Structure 1
């Protein structure tokens, strides 16, 4: 097991990490919005490469001076590389999805992942899954169907991209849950971004495309900066505040996604889609609050 010295040893009792988390989610949602915008003129392979290379350079600049070679120490190299590869696949599927889906609706569908992870947690993470969590996952699925319902403009063959994204994202979350118990978060982040930078560079040997306009390069760099900064804030959030206190706020990313979709593309989901989006957000928040609700009831009984 490899653990770097960090502030994670400090007692985590406050909600100060919530602000870090909200900042991270705002970065991720804006990153998706810019990715969708720049994909109108730049190939997906170039966008993914620019994102990971920028993130890798930023992460290295912040971690190597402080931790040096210690950041490279891992006893689970294959698992680290596997996780990095999974994230590249999810990023590719996300960009493919964003080419035809609005940011808000896309974010809502992706945020069903934690609900579905609970259904598989008992098998892969040896966690007990109560019936209420199964029902919440079913409700999240119903919310998704309301967004991509037959007859809507999103109900096309392109749905294969977000469906595959959720499936791969579930595996990614399960692997993350396992590796988080074995490795330091900064080590995992370092291997993840450099695995992504390496894998996304390979196709460019054959598919490099020249980008002539400077504003497109600025957008590409901003995608990487937002992703890197978002991951930094995300890690800080979990260092400052217990995960159980943060989970209900995770679904704020849906609101950020709708906001940036409106700002950049002037798009607002229709009423049925908004209801489905709200259903996913509420059920997700309730699911993350279940342990605290159960603890409260147990305390009342005693």
Structure 2
């Protein structure tokens, strides 16, 4: 699943004027969506083949950790290990692992398109939680968009109509863990280095879940399973790396529509690999969620521009008095 960019990327992004996204940034978003779709497809392939979801999730982060150490040149990059609050780093890493684990558990019974559609509700949950947890309160227009997005989730899950299952519970759990992970990332961003946020989010699950690996781990006997298992970390690691590069080149608002195109990859992989096609309810619910999410991004963009304009207007008279 896709994740929001880390603090260092956000600071660079905010320094970029609110303009259209360059083609290179859009291409990076497309690439990350493709890799994240490969990650979910591989995870579903493995858990439906009999591998336990905790073991699959652990391997995904173990390979990801190795990639982080190599990409950030850990042997000469002390910022990778520097922390302000190790307990909060551990909590944040646990939330990311929980999101991945719940996602793989959901994929045992749900289609790829169903899980990603529910996951697209995360920006709305983050907007709702940002008020009590960060003091970033949403206005009534954004609350209406949040409620509309929730309606989209209900359209997909359809509780009370015999379609709501344990898979939907896990999908909602994955989305909730991820939303809390993003909230915590925003809260920690001013104190922690971007490198440490990326590093400890991979290290935490590898260390904490390692004692349980013998209970859930099963070594593959099929070479294809070995390849897919190791590839999980590459898909996740390089997918995040492409996201970082994309948000260095363009603003969140300029790139907002493009992550939702991951749905195309998920539907395609679901059909080619598993013979699944989303039903009309899933498509309708996804459309409602995506529309609501795009409205929230647009609304936050307009409020941010208004705040900047007001700040410049206030600074002008003060500069003249000086």
SS of corresponding position for 1:211: coil
1:19 aligns with 2:27: yes
- Cα separation, partners in 2 of 1:74 and 1:296, compared to 1, 3 Å: closer
Which residue does the alignment assign to 2:248?
A: 239
Most deviating of 151-160 and 21-30:
151-160
- Cα separation, partners in 2 of 1:70 and 1:272, compared to 1, 3 Å: closer
SS of corresponding position for 2:73: helix
Which residue does the alignment assign to 1:35?
A: 43
Which residue does the alignment assign to 2:170?
A: 161
Most deviating of 213-222 and 151-160:
151-160
Q: How far is 1:178 from its partner? A: 1.2
How many residues were matched structurally?
297
On the 8 A contact 1:87/1:172 being kept in 2, the answer is yes
1:132 corresponds to which of 118, 135, 141: 141
Which residue does the alignment assign to 2:300?
A: 291
What is the correspondence of 1:75-224 to structure 2 with a 5 Å cutoff?
A: 75-150=84-159, 154-224=163-233
Give, in whole Å, the separation in 2 of the partners of 1:235 and 1:297. 27
SS of corresponding position for 1:12: coil
Which residue does the alignment assign to 1:276?
A: 285
- Cα separation, partners in 2 of 1:250 and 1:215, compared to 1, 3 Å: same
SS of corresponding position for 1:261: helix
- Cα separation, partners in 2 of 1:189 and 1:121, compared to 1, 3 Å: same
Give, in whole Å, the separation in 2 of the partners of 1:101 and 1:132. 32
On the 8 A contact 1:251/1:285 being kept in 2, the answer is no
On the 8 A contact 1:113/1:170 being kept in 2, the answer is yes
Q: How far is 1:200 from its partner? A: 2.8
Uncovered stretches (5+) of structure 1, i.e. residues with no partner = none
2:276 corresponds to which of 263, 267, 281: 267
On the 8 A contact 2:106/2:115 being kept in 1, the answer is yes
Uncovered stretches (5+) of structure 2, i.e. residues with no partner = 1-6, 314-322
Q: How far is 1:248 from its partner? A: 3.3
**TM-score calculated relative to the size of structure 1:** 0.89
Tell me the alpha carbon deviations over residues 20-71 of structure 1, each in whole angstroms, 9 at most, x when there is no partner.
Answer: 2222122112210111011122221221121111100011011125852231
- Cα separation, partners in 2 of 1:83 and 1:60, compared to 1, 3 Å: same
Tell me the alpha carbon deviations over residues 190-228 of structure 1, each in whole angstroms, 9 at most, x when there is no partner.
Answer: 111111221232201333323111110100111110000
**TM-score calculated relative to the size of structure 2:** 0.83
- Cα separation, partners in 2 of 1:65 and 1:45, compared to 1, 3 Å: closer
On the 8 A contact 1:104/1:259 being kept in 2, the answer is no
